Amino acid sequence: MATKPEAAGWRPATLAIHAGLKEAVFGEVSPPIFQTSTFTFPDAHVGAGRFSGAQPGYIYTRMGNPTVQALERAVAALEGGQWALAAASGMAAISAVLLGLLQAGERLLAGDCLYGPSLTVITRELPRFGIETRLVDTSDPAALEQALAARPRLLFLETPTNPTLKLTDLTEAARLAQAVGTLLVVDNTFATPYCQRPLEHQADIVVHSLTKALNGHSDVIGGMIVGRAPDLHRRLKGFLTLTGGVMDPHQAWLILRGLRTLTLRLDRSQANALALATWLAAHPQVAWVIYPGLPGHPQHQIAARQMPGFGFMISFGLKSGRAGAMTFLNHLRLISLAVSLGGVESLIQHPASMTHAGVPQSQREALGITEDMIRFSVGCEDLADLQEDLAQALAKL
């Protein structure tokens, strides 16, 4: 079966719908789910050839599956990568990169503001294996350059960061990393390849939680690693296969189905986010708003330069502090109080007591994850309904 000609210059909306699919065998429009653990060989010589790598073909779903590979091809095409590897979750993807590429005695430099479990793996788990870790504000080029002088093996960062929405200049970060032989790994979950393509800024690897906007329906867990260099693909493919953190074919099919509406969903959610961020910034109960699309964002110019879209995430603080935040959250009627993000439905949460509760309070406060902070994943509902829900909850303060 021939793959559709993705290299023909399709734009993101077309790629989201068609990338990764092969020409149909029976005229099917939707790719089949190859729900099988193992694959038969036509004869013993073919089986031996597949195991040796001399012949193409499938062996065992932990080692490769057609449905999973369709999703891998699709996300690789959207990110502009040469290859992609699907993982069981976003944290499985991140852990595979960190543990698959680092070894005892090597150094990891990471952004100081990351998703809570990412920070925990980096600061608590990696040192157990003799890996030296250091955190730095990657949005500060001078601080980043100074930290890179130690020549770490990897630089791992998020942009925008979770939940402070701070931005790193990817072109500059890649230049500084390359100068000392450091691999740049970017978690692109918040932006998605529709709003940012780190590989185009010379990042070496991109990771995603597919659970979020790429799937978009809050109904399945998954992760992805995307890159260009063949040697990194070989290393990470081998690590994922051996350690077993791979994706199930039905899981892959669900995410592939969600991926098809990526640009439609994000066009709506981004438009909602910009309008609501502007409205919140003018509300008397709101102390501050952070959204990359607002001209007042400290790094708005970086966002305008490296992000075709500003995303669907807003963080804001209330003048009434933590008590006000809890009262506000408890009175929302439409917007769901839940962690995660990127679904068609709007989700909202309190990072200091939820997603980042495992980060020490002093560290949270230093990063700007304050007690008054609320993280808001804006969905695809009618803008007026979302605004009315925010207004009635704010009126309870």
Across all residues in the chain, what is the average pLDDT?
96
- Measure the CA–CA gap between 262 and 175, rounded to whole angstroms: 30
Cβ-Cβ contacts under 8 Å for 202 (sequence gap 6 or more): 170, 171, 174, 175, 178, 184
pLDDT, one tens digit per residue, over 302-339 is 999 999 999 999 999 999 999 999 999 999 999 999 99
Omega of the bond prior to 284 within 30 degrees of 0, cis? no
- Decide if 90 contacts 209 (C-beta within 8 A): yes
- Residue length of the chain: 397
DSSP string, 202-228: T-SEEEEETTTTTT-SSS---EEEEES
pLDDT, one tens digit per residue, over 347-376 is 999 999 999 998 899 999 999 999 999 999
Q: What are the percentages of helix, strand and coil residues in the chain, rounded to 5?
A: 45, 15, 40
The mean pLDDT of 188-197, rounded to a whole number, is 98
Instruction: Write down the pLDDT at residue 21.
Output: 85
Sign of CA dihedral 208, 211, 212, 216: positive
Compute the CA torsion angle 236, 125, 75, 234 (nearest 10 deg): 0
- Measure the CA–CA gap between 392 and 365, rounded to whole angstroms: 29
Do domains 9-259 and 262-394 share one topology? The answer is no
DSSP string, 164-194: T-----HHHHHHHHHHTTPEEEEE-TTTHHH
**Residues marked as catalytic:** 62, 115, 187, 212
- In words, the CATH class of domain 262-394 is alpha beta
Instruction: Write down the pLDDT at residue 4.
Output: 57
Domain ranges of the chain: 9-259, 262-394
Cβ-Cβ contacts under 8 Å for 234 (sequence gap 6 or more): none
Structure tokens at 331: 């009175």
- Decide if 179 contacts 312 (C-beta within 8 A): no
- Measure the CA–CA gap between 369 and 359, rounded to whole angstroms: 10
Residue 391: strand, helix, or coil: helix
The mean pLDDT of 150-169, rounded to a whole number, is 98
Q: What CATH fold (topology level) applies to the domain 9-259? A: Aspartate Aminotransferase; domain 2 (3.40.640)
Residue 1 has pLDDT above 50, yes or no: no
pLDDT, one tens digit per residue, over 118-146 is 999 999 999 999 999 999 999 999 999 99
Q: What b-and-e string marks burial along 69-105, b requiring 16 or more CB atoms within 10 Å of the CB?
A: bbbbbbbbbbbebebbbbbbbbbbbbbbbbbbbbeee
The rounded percent of the chain whose pLDDT value lies above 90 is 94
- Measure the CA–CA gap between 128 and 122, rounded to whole angstroms: 10
Q: Compute the chain's Rg from CA coordinates.
A: 21
The mean pLDDT of 80-97, rounded to a whole number, is 98
- Measure the CA–CA gap between 49 and 240, rounded to whole angstroms: 21
Residue 18 has pLDDT above 50, yes or no: yes
Phi, psi of 212 (to 5 degrees): -90, -125
Phi, psi of 289 (to 5 degrees): -140, 135
Instruction: Write down the pLDDT at residue 122.
Output: 97
